[in-house]
């Protein structure tokens, strides 16, 4: 199942690579595999962070209760989860322990305020960018440890880029349930 997730992540990355190129202001500078991957991560990061920031602080603890939502993560837990996993994948790519206490896959319980959670999120994307930048044509297929398996470094990066979008869709629904239009759905000037 995890191998399937990795494969799906790679397919997602390949299908999104054109999207990332089309949204850059100037032609990208691709000197390494890591540069190309980081352009895709930039697009995902912008979407995810703007969506996280759109939720009012007093709604960060929101989780749906009507219907089949028992046990789902709150909005804040969605954000902390993505940040914690960004650190995990960044560490796996670099072959090191992440530089912060991730608090497991759900992030540190000590982070409560929107400002603390957003800092954790932004710092996690910075670390993931740093780790992905180390991927080159020469090392992209080197095996690294991720989720108890040895997988190519590029597969970890591909899944790390795809993962936030799993939670982005849920967060968009949480925003709409609270009467907030997601940033990507707002009218864009000049379009």
What length is written for the chain?
Answer: 191
Q: Tell me what the mean pLDDT of segment 25-41 comes to.
A: 81
> Does residue 126 form part of some domain?
yes
Q: Tell me what the mean pLDDT of segment 64-71 comes to.
A: 84
Q: Tell me what the mean pLDDT of segment 94-119 comes to.
A: 94
> Does residue 113 form part of some domain?
yes
| pLDDT for residue 17 is more than 70 | no
- For the chain, the 3-state helix, strand and coil shares in percent, each to the nearest 5, are 60, 5, 35
Q: What is the CATH number of the domain that holds 105?
A: 1.20.120.450
The structural domain count of the chain equals: 1
Nearest CA-CA partner of 46 in 165, 157, 156: 165
DSSP E strands: which ranges in 14-157? 143-146, 149-152
Question: What are the backbone angles phi and psi of residue 151, rounded to the nearest 5°?
Answer: -135, 155
| pLDDT for residue 8 is more than 70 | no
Contact 90, 160 (CB under 8 A): yes
> Does residue 27 form part of some domain?
no
Structure tokens that stand for 187 in this block:
């009218």
> Does residue 185 form part of some domain?
no
Q: Tell me what the mean pLDDT of segment 111-137 comes to.
A: 97
Looking at residue 191, what is its pLDDT? 57
> Does residue 188 form part of some domain?
no
pTM: 0.83
> Does residue 187 form part of some domain?
no
Nearest CA-CA partner of 86 in 148, 160, 185: 160
Range of the domain at 151: 2-22+32-62+74-180
> Does residue 105 form part of some domain?
yes
Q: Tell me what the mean pLDDT of segment 110-129 comes to.
A: 97
Nearest CA-CA partner of 53 in 128, 119, 123, 130: 119
């Amino acid at each position: 199942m995890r191998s399937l997730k990795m494969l799906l992540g790679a397919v997602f990355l390949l299908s999104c690579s054109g999207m990332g190129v089309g949204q850059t202001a100037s032609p990208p500078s691709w000197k390494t595999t890591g540069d190309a991957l980081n352009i895709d991560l930039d697009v995902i990061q912008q979407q995810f962070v703007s969506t996280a920031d759109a939720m009012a602080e007093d709604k960060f603890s929101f989780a749906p209760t009507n219907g089949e939502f028992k046990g789902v993560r709150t909005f804040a837990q969605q954000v902390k989860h993505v940040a914690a996993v960004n650190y995990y994948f960044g560490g796996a790519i670099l072959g090191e322990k992440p530089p912060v206490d991730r608090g497991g896959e759900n992030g540190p319980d000590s982070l409560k305020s929107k400002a603390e959670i957003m800092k954790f999120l932004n710092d996690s994307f910075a670390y993931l960018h740093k780790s992905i930048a180390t991927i080159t044509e020469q090392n992209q297929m080197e095996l690294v440890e991720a989720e108890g398996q040895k997988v190519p470094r590029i597969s970890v990066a591909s899944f790390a880029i795809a993962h936030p979008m799993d939670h982005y869709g849920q967060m968009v629904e949480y925003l709409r349930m609270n009467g907030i239009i997601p940033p990507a759905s707002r009218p864009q000037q000049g379009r």
